[in-house]
């Protein structure tokens, strides 16, 4: 399956993934600036992505904990999610997510 990440400069990067893979890990493996400081513990929001509008309603809803943590993310939009909380399924083949322009990866500084 293919996941498309659109980086902060608007460049689309297609990543190959398997069902069961975690969206944060797939993005990091593809070289996207997703820091993921807390490694999926919902304690950082540095894995924030903006899901393409046509895909947002097709994903399982965010938990209350995820919604709370998104409040701290920079550049939050209506379709924002924490990528560490999204495990891929067959139905997500072709998913498109945007990396927020506000995103910065401390590992690259």
| Nearest residue (beta carbon) to ligand FES | 84
Residue 76, interface with ligand FES (CB under 6 A)? no
Nearer to ligand FES, 64 or 90 (CB): 64
Secondary structure of 21-80 in HEC code, one letter for each residue: CEHHHHHHHCCCCCCCCCCCCCCCCCCEEEECHHHHCCCCCCCHHHHHHHCCCCCCCCCE
CA distance 109 to 94: 31
Q: Closer to ligand FES at the Cβ: 17 or 81?
A: 81
24-63 footprint of ligand FES as x/- string (CB under 6 A)? x-----------xxxxx-xxxxxx----------------
Binding residues for ligand FES, per CB under 6 A? Answer: 24, 36-40, 42-47, 69, 82, 84
């Amino acid at each position: 399956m293919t996941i498309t990440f659109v980086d902060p400069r608007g460049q689309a990067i297609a990543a190959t993934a398997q069902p069961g893979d975690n969206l944060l890990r797939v993005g990091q493996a593809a070289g996207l600036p997703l820091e993921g400081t807390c490694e999926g513990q919902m304690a950082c929001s540095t894995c924030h992505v903006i899901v393409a509008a046509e895909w947002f309603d097709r994903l399982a809803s965010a938990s209350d904990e995820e919604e709370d943590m998104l409040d701290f993310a920079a550049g939050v939009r209506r379709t924002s999610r924490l990528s560490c909380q999204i495990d891929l399924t067959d139905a997500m083949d072709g998913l498109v997510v945007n990396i927020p322009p506000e995103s910065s990866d401390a590992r690259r500084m």
